[in-house]
Amino acid sequence: MASRKTNKPVGVIGLGSFGTAVSNLLARNNPVVLFGRNTEQVLEIKETRTSSGQKLDPKVELTNDIEYLSNSCDIIFPVVPSAGFRAMIVMLAPFLKPYHILIHGTKGFDVNSERENINQEGKYLSRSEVRTMSEVIMEESVVVRTGCLAGPNLAQELAEGQPSATVVASPFNEVIQEGQRLLRSDLFQVYGSPDLIGVELSGVLKNIIAIASGAISGLGLGENSRGLLISRGMVEMIYLGRVLGGNTQAFIGLAGIGDLVTTCTSQLSRNYTVGYRLAKGESLDEIIGSMEETAEGINTVKVARSLAKYYRVRAPITEKLYDIMFEGLPPTTALQYLMKYPFNVDIDFL
Amino acid sequence: MLKLKKSRANVYEPTLPGPENWPVVRLSRNRKEFIEEVIQESYHRIKQLRNTPEILQEEIEITMFRERLRIKENPWKVDPDDEMLFWNGVKNTLVGSLRKSKSKRNAVSEELLLDIISRYTNEIAGNFKPSHYRMARSLVTFGFSRLFNAARLKSFKGFFKGKLTLQDKINIVGENEHVRKLAKIGTIVMVPTHFSNLDSITIGFVIHTLGLPPFIYGAGLNLFNISVIAYFMNSLGAYKVDRRKKNMIYLETLKMYSNLALQKGCHSLFFPGGTRSRSGKLESRLKLGLLSTAMEAQRINFLKAGDVKPRKIFVVPVVLNYNFVLEAVGMISDYLSQKGQERYYIEADQFSSSFKILKFLFQFFTRSADMSVSVGRGMDLLGNYVDDEGNSLDRHGNIIQIEDYFKIHGRISENPQREGEYTRMLSDKLVSEYHKLSRCSASQLAAFTAFEQFRNMYKKLDLYGLLRLPIEDLIITYEDYKSEYKRRIEQIFGLEKNGKIQVANHLREKGLEELIEMGIKNVGIFHTKRPLLFNKEGNITTQDLKTLYYYRNRLDGYGLEKN
């Protein structure tokens, strides 16, 4: 299979902590071109060779020129927040060719709806109005060979060079193989999965549970509660994930349970922090205002709650979290409600 | 009742002047070499796929076993007499080789493989003859247009009047000019929906009317049972497909035949739904086997092209819109009883005698109401639309180089997994094109409206319960029906506005009551038990709910039933 490899560099889009971490991971094996939209920020990083608090590998070249990026790289890793993802692909699309391969690392939904309030009674979102990031790529560009990165990958731990692993998911074997070839190292293991949608959904939905986990700590509760949350949260992710087109397998893999455990127990996680501060009594606006990077989970809660309503999926954690975040429900009341929720069967999907 | 209109001869000029230029003629001139090429290439392919001697031998054993079983359990008249002899021979050789050394045994199985492939290829191969083609074609067009006349004028005398032709009966709408242009610069793969056994004849007529050179296509082996039909089939460029043979060696050989013919530029016709739609629904899942041969042929064309401009393959979806499908009653029963027990379904030979098929043809052409054929825009194999010059266009109308889809690290590479995935994407795209091209008529809407009303009247029943209701219980008052029909028309126009369906002209031109009348009259117009009719009080009822369900299904998949 191994054809002649070219020495083309690999592209990364996004100067956030995960984008930077991915660039450094890739730079272990290949030259990297890292794109940032903000000219001043790019200049500053060129100067300091530090991005999002991480020292950049010398093999990472910075650029502000999107055309240069797409011409010099066949394989590109977009790692930008979901809110700006579509706009970024639209900007990139004129320079993309059918030979390009895009493997993204963004864990959020794209909502394609005119509605102001997606959680209005009777007007909930259906799957046709929600896109995963790979679907956005295929919708806005000529690229069809897409994939995603997901797994327990806290940017800070990656930056410290701790051992870790990820999943590259794509319906195309060659995308998985390229992802593995580019990312694998002694400290970084790369698994493959053909269930792109399932893996994307795992990465997206786990952020909800991560917020809830933060809230549990914020309420001063211990590990019994967290164990309960993680396992029930897992079930909820699977229920939702399946109506949205994922398979159960993806959720019990590295990108599902692996990532879930990590983000639910780590104070490094932004989503966890959001939940923690909510439980401590801060308002959502205050929290958002004081955060440097987006916590994807906030938007995900909104979208997932609407989807769950539309498809009548049992998703009590998501619903109560929504009530806490957007309806002013006190976290303790939500907790009481959840403890009374009539679940009978532990697992009914395997 | 019938307005007679003198036909305007809107037959297109042929795109290629003489038969000597037709790809299919070039192919048949070198028939022997072509067959040899298919055999050799299939042999290499199968050896690649079954790459150790043990696995290969096992494959041959399985094939032999299945073939002997087929001969015993499901023999057809068309099967050659020496079949059992051949497969017994295979068996004996296999048994005999057990005592031999390993290397000798390998040689034996390779030889057997070659024998089997060669037998299959010779069975599959069509035998196109231009003289026969012209003759057959004129016979078909002449004969059928005469038949139409007789039917339309309701008397046998009409048979000899030259007033009506097929052009009046079959209305071809859509991208006719575009497809003619594409046929000159590339290879066309036409992929129609499949509702009736008459589809291949209808499509043959469409191809002729558009002035395109003959297409090759896989026709069910059972159609070759009858010598007259076999003559026509052969001369019209058909190759034989035996749906009973599901073994890997056969399927790979069949695919290689199509693949190589496409590489040589033969326009081809696939029915990607596999068989006729038993439910009356538009195809929702396609068979990927033959489509994947187009994908592979395209990649090979790109790979071999070098400096010359590679020949592109264009996929053209075609949707047939009938008001009446003769087989509807039988097919919907099949569908309903098959659902959930598909495994026990045996491919039966419905056309076992000349009489049956002639009767069928006669009924079809004398009974069939007018129909329309929607010809879609050409697409490349990735499902992008192409312009008249054959350039692939992205969503924004920019030209894209589709050979880039077959590249990695800057070079075109062979990657069956990738191509499998592309084929799946293409098939999704085709399914959505079918829905967009489908042309909603008053009768489709009449069937859908009524059936959904019945369903709503008995919400608690499941489909099977509903279908078992006595027909006395199935009456809709005219007023209810009228207001519902009006609502449905608006829904359809809403869909049309979003480009999700097409609408027959009469829906726009005629008034509501006229449409209802026309629609109800035309739903399965010639069935003995009418799927939809007015009762004495002028209300709407049915004589055959199952068949109504069949016609209702044509508007399935648009999400109309939800609201």
Same domain, B538 and B413: no
**The pair of three-digit structure tokens given for residue B421, joined into one six-digit string:** 């995935």
Respond yes or no: is residue A206 known to be catalytic. Answer: yes
Touching A: B residues 387-416, CB under 8 Å:
394-395, 398, 400-402, 404-405, 407-411, 413, 415
Determine whether the interchain pair B415/A174 forms a contact, defined as Cβ–Cβ distance below 8 Å: yes
pLDDT tens digits, A151-177: 998 888 888 889 999 999 999 999 999
Decide if B266 contacts B24 (C-beta within 8 A).
Answer: yes
The count of structural domains within chain B is 3
**What is residue B233's predicted lDDT score, i.e. its pLDDT?**
67
Same domain, B204 and B318: yes
User: In this structure, what DSSP letter does residue B170 have?
Assistant: E
Same domain, B552 and B424: no
Same domain, B414 and B453: no
Each residue's pLDDT expressed in tens, for chain B with a length of 563 residues: 333 333 344 667 777 766 667 777 777 778 889 999 999 999 999 999 998 988 999 999 999 999 999 999 988 888 888 999 999 999 999 998 888 888 888 899 999 999 999 999 998 987 666 666 666 666 666 555 555 555 554 444 444 444 445 566 678 889 999 999 999 999 999 999 998 877 877 787 788 788 888 888 887 777 776 666 666 666 667 788 888 899 999 999 999 999 999 998 899 988 888 778 888 888 888 888 889 999 999 999 998 887 778 889 999 999 998 877 777 888 888 888 777 454 444 444 455 555 655 665 666 555 555 678 999 999 999 999 999 999 999 988 999 999 999 999 999 999 999 999 999 999 999 999 999 999 999 999 999 999 999 999 998 888 888 888 888 889 999 999 999 999 999 999 999 999 999 999 889 999 999 999 989 988 877 787 889 999 999 999 999 998 999 999 999 989 888 76
Report d(CA A159, CA A162) in Å as an integer.
Answer: 8
- List of domains in chain A: 10-194 (3.40.50.720), 198-340 (1.10.1040.10)
Same domain, B81 and B100: yes
State the CB neighbour count (10 A cutoff) for residue B308: 7
Contacts of B400 in chain A (CB under 8 A): 97-98, 142
**Closest chain B residue by Cα to residue A145:** B405
- Domain range holding B199? 171-215+267-357+376-434
Can you say how many angstroms the Cα of residue A286 is from the centroid of all Cα atoms in its chain? 23
The stretches of A219-295 forming alpha helices (DSSP H) are 223-243, 248-251, 259-265, 270-279, 284-289
pLDDT tens digits, B505-514: 889 999 999 9
Decide if B150 contacts B158 (C-beta within 8 A).
Answer: yes
Same domain, B410 and B329: yes
Decide if B146 contacts B32 (C-beta within 8 A).
Answer: no
**The pair of three-digit structure tokens given for residue B449, joined into one six-digit string:** 């409206």
> Nearest Cβ partner of A142 from B394, B415, B425?
B394
Q: What's the residue count for chain A?
A: 350
Do β-strands A130-131 and A110-111 pair in parallel, antiparallel, or remain unpaired? Answer: antiparallel
In this structure, is residue B280 part of a structural domain? yes
Question: B498 in contact with A at a CB cutoff of 8 Å?
Answer: no
Total-model pTM: 0.88
Determine whether the interchain pair A98/B422 forms a contact, defined as Cβ–Cβ distance below 8 Å: no
Contacts of A9 in chain B (CB under 8 A): none
Contacts of A177 in chain B (CB under 8 A): none
Contacts of B418 in chain A (CB under 8 A): 145, 172-174
> Nearest Cβ partner of B402 from A3, A6, A98?
A98
Instruction: Return left, alpha or beta for A343; rule: phi > 0 is left, psi -120 to 50 is alpha, else beta.
Output: beta
Using DSSP, how many helices (H) and how many strands (E) does chain B show? Answer: 21, 16
Same domain, B194 and B335: yes
State the CB neighbour count (10 A cutoff) for residue B176: 18
Same domain, B310 and B402: yes
**Closest chain B residue by Cα to residue A1:** B415
In this structure, is residue B325 part of a structural domain? yes
Report d(CA B385, CA B404) in Å as an integer.
Answer: 16
In this structure, is residue B207 part of a structural domain? yes
Task: Give residue for tokens 């896989």.
Answer: B218
pLDDT tens digits, A242-268: 999 999 999 999 999 999 999 998 888
Domain final position from B88, B106, B124: B124
pLDDT tens digits, B248-275: 999 999 999 999 999 988 999 888 887 7
Same domain, B425 and B452: no
Determine whether the interchain pair B382/A98 forms a contact, defined as Cβ–Cβ distance below 8 Å: yes
Determine whether the interchain pair A98/B400 forms a contact, defined as Cβ–Cβ distance below 8 Å: yes
Domain final position from B124, B151, B179: B124
Same domain, B474 and B428: no
**The pair of three-digit structure tokens given for residue B470, joined into one six-digit string:** 């006595």
Same domain, B316 and B195: yes
Q: Which of A107, A206, A302, A320 is catalytic?
A: A206
Same domain, B335 and B464: no
Q: What is the 3-state secondary structure (H, E, C) of B348-411?
A: CCCCCCHHHHHHHHHHHHHHCCCEEEEECCCECCCCCEECCCCCEECCCCCEECHHHHHEECCE
User: In this structure, what DSSP letter does residue A185 have?
Assistant: B
Determine whether the interchain pair B413/A98 forms a contact, defined as Cβ–Cβ distance below 8 Å: no
**Closest chain B residue by Cα to residue A73:** B409
Decide if B171 contacts B206 (C-beta within 8 A).
Answer: no
Determine whether the interchain pair A174/B394 forms a contact, defined as Cβ–Cβ distance below 8 Å: no
Contacts of B405 in chain A (CB under 8 A): 98-99, 144
**The pair of three-digit structure tokens given for residue B506, joined into one six-digit string:** 């009469």
**What is residue A210's predicted lDDT score, i.e. its pLDDT?**
94
Determine whether the interchain pair A174/B408 forms a contact, defined as Cβ–Cβ distance below 8 Å: yes
Contacts of B408 in chain A (CB under 8 A): 3, 74, 99, 101, 174, 178
3-state secondary structure of A167: strand
